[in-house]
Amino acid sequence: MNWSVIPRYWPQMYSGLLMTLQISLVALLISIPIGILIGLGRISRNSVIRFFAGFYVEFIRGVPLLVLLIWIFFVLGRFLRLGSYWAAIWGLAVFSSAFIAEVVRAGIQAVPKGQMEAARSSGMSYIQAMRLVILPQAFRKILPPMAAQFIILIKDSSLVSTISVVDLTLVGKNLVATTFRSLEVWTFVALVYFVITFALSQGVRYLERKYQVVE
């Protein structure tokens, strides 16, 4: 064993780690508004909207992330001239939005029916009632799983190395190819993923406790 590869190549690894965090975070930020819209669509009174929102969620959940990434990069990316960076972000964002949509739907449906009735009976429109009464309450239930989704994204994002985004995983692969220190490099890469996700999951626990519903 020779662990000196780690400090020697730390700068590359560090920039790979930043790439991993960056694409995960940007994908999350894009997936939140999309997920909220799709989640609202899932409970819309308009059956056409409901159908398409449901189809979106089912479709995305039915396709493996790796296939989605490859498809966006090679098929969509060619038409839209997406580089691997944006293909990776959109792939992760679309994938994550289906999950967020379900979280949003469940959060809204967990708000008692009487809340919507009270809001509507005071003359609020459906949209006002959602914005002023339902979503602020659903938000407490939605926030912890949304934060948890960030952790999932960080782990899932290792797949973007297959469309040649230089994230932590791809840096690891490249290092092994040049140094042949497979044990040291992969052990370290795994540890870095673990330390980041473990720290974040402590943060999620805190959020869960903080927003433990005060009804």
Partner 1 sequence: MEAMISVQTVNKSFGSFEVLKDVDVQVPKGQVFALIGPSGAGKSTLIRTINALEGIDSGAILVDGVSVHAKKAKVNQIRAGIGFVFQSFNLYPHLNAVDNVAVAPMHVKGTKKAAAREKAKELLASLGLDDKFAAHPNQLSGGQQQRVAIARALAMDPKVMLFDEPTSALDPEMIKEVLDAIRKLAETGMTMVVVTHEMGFAREICSQVVFMADSKVVEQAPPKEFFSAPTTQRGQDFLEKVLHH
CB of 6 to partner 1, least distance (A): 49
**Residue 142 interacting with partner 1 (CB under 8 A):** no
Orientation of helix 168-179 relative to helix 182-210, angle to 10°: 160
Please choose, out of 18-26, 131-139, 150-158, 174-182, the segment that lies near partner 1 by the rule CB under 8 A: 131-139
| CA dihedral for 42, 48, 49, 53, sign (positive or negative) | positive
CA dist 76 and 94 (Å) reads 13
Taking Cα atoms as reference points, which of 40, 57, 45, 47 lies closest to residue 131?
A: 40
**Residue 115 interacting with partner 1 (CB under 8 A):** yes
CA dist 56 and 38 (Å) reads 8
| Position among 2, 80, 117, 198 found at the interface with partner 1 (CB under 8 A) | 117
| Position among 11, 64, 83, 136 found at the interface with partner 1 (CB under 8 A) | 136
Type of residue numbered 110: A
CB of 7 to partner 1, least distance (A): 50
**Residue number, 93 or 130, with CB nearest to partner 1:** 130
**Residue 125 interacting with partner 1 (CB under 8 A):** yes
CB of 49 to partner 1, least distance (A): 20
On whether the CB atoms of residues 71 and 34 are closer than 8 A, the answer is: no
Residue where the block lists tokens 């809340």: 115
Please choose, out of 62-70, 117-125, 172-180, 197-205, the segment that lies near partner 1 by the rule CB under 8 A: 117-125
**Residue 114 interacting with partner 1 (CB under 8 A):** yes
CA dist 101 and 103 (Å) reads 5
Q: Given the rule CB under 8 A, which residues bind partner 1?
A: 112, 114-115, 117-125, 128, 132-133, 136-137, 140, 214-215
